[in-house]
């Protein structure tokens, strides 16, 4: 306990889900907290963003832990707003020791069907928003010659995902941004690392609209309760570790506290998967296409049908 006593953490996307879990964990370890969230709709998304009530609920949670909390409605796409809130944090709390760039959104669409607008809004929030966060907090950390910046990416920051072209591209970008920021800020003792969550029980992944899209035709006749059951239990096929359904948001907070604390003081530039072993598993094509025109082969590659090899 007390691993973050006397420190201040700024967390984007902090009103609910992973952001709330991280804020609560950091507060339980002694940190004062600044939480930011958009608290309003984002164009092109068909699921609800966090509300002001969610933000206030998280602030109350932090204050019940007897920690100071500043809760602000801020869109990470607004660079000036991010700079302003970072400056306010330094003025009111004296410093920014930890920053968690956690704000993110998701849309589901195959590459050839995704509109330019749908592409851009995900890139703007998930990648440019992270850039704005780093840029806003870095000056005070450089001046203090100390800091830990934690970026929330995804296992899709290092692999693909069906129907997730914009999300996957943005999260790969976050990993690249982390590596470059770690390189540039390391000489000033500012550490930059990335978390790679697998499926987490949070509104970005559990909203019924997205889950019906993922289920495709098979999800059309499912009730919301059946969709939720499928969402919670489906990731068992994704995980290597035994008996793991969808991961709780606290699993990400448990990893974030290590990256925020002195226990990782010699660690920078890493990607830390929190995926129940998913990335260890060998890949396979779950739905291979058999082309009758090409025919079939035996184990040595010899043609078994007349068309094979043509």
Q: How many CB atoms lie within 10 A of CB 43?
A: 8
* Torsion on CA atoms 164, 170, 171, 175, rounded to nearest 10: 150
Q: Rounded distance, CA 48 to CA 262, Å?
A: 36
Annotated catalytic residue, options 47, 108, 162, 167: 167
- Cα torsion 125, 130, 132, 137: sign: positive
Residue 34 β-bridge partners = 10, 70
167 is catalytic: yes
Q: Which residues, other chains included, contact 255 with Cβ-Cβ below 8 Å and sequence gap of 6+?
A: 195, 272, 274
- The DSSP code sequence of 228-271 is HHHHHHGGGGT-SSTT--SBPHHHHHHHHHHHHSGGGTT--S-E
Which residues sit opposite 196 in a β-bridge? 273
Catalytic positions = 167
């Amino acid at each position: 306990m007390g691993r973050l006593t006397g420190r201040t953490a700024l967390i984007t996307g902090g009103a609910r889900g992973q952001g709330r879990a991280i804020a609560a964990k950091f507060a339980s370890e002694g940190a004062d907290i600044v939480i930011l969230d958009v608290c309003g709709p984002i164009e092109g998304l068909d699921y609800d963003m966090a509300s002001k009530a969610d933000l206030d609920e998280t602030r109350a949670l932090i204050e019940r832990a007897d920690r100071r909390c500043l809760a602000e409605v801020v869109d990470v796409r607004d660079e000036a707003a991010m700079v302003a809130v970072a400056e306010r944090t330094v003025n009111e709390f004296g410093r920014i020791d930890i920053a968690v760039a956690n704000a993110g959104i998701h849309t589901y669409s195959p590459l050839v069907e995704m509109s330019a607008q749908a592409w851009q809004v995900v890139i703007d929030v998930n990648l440019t928003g992270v850039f704005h966060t780093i840029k806003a907090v870095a000056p005070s950390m450089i001046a203090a010659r100390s800091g830990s910046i934690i970026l929330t990416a995804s296992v899709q920051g290092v692999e693909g995902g069906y129907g997730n072209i914009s999300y996957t591209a943005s999260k790969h970008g976050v990993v690249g941004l982390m590596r470059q920021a770690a390189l540039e800020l390391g000489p000033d003792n500012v550490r930059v690392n990335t978390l790679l969550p697998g499926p987490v029980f949070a509104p970005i992944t559990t909203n019924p609209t997205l889950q019906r899209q993922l289920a495709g035709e098979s999800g059309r006749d499912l009730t919301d309760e059946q969709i939720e059951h499928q969402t919670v239990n489906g990731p068992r096929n994704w995980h290597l570790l035994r008996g793991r359904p969808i991961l709780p948001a606290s699993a990400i907070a448990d990893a974030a506290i290590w990256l925020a604390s002195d226990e990782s003081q010699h660690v920078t530039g890493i990607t830390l998967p929190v995926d129940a072993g998913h990335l260890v598993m060998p890949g396979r094509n779950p739905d291979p296409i058999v082309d009758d025109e090409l025919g079939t082969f035996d184990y040595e590659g010899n043609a078994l049908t007349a068309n094979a090899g043509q």
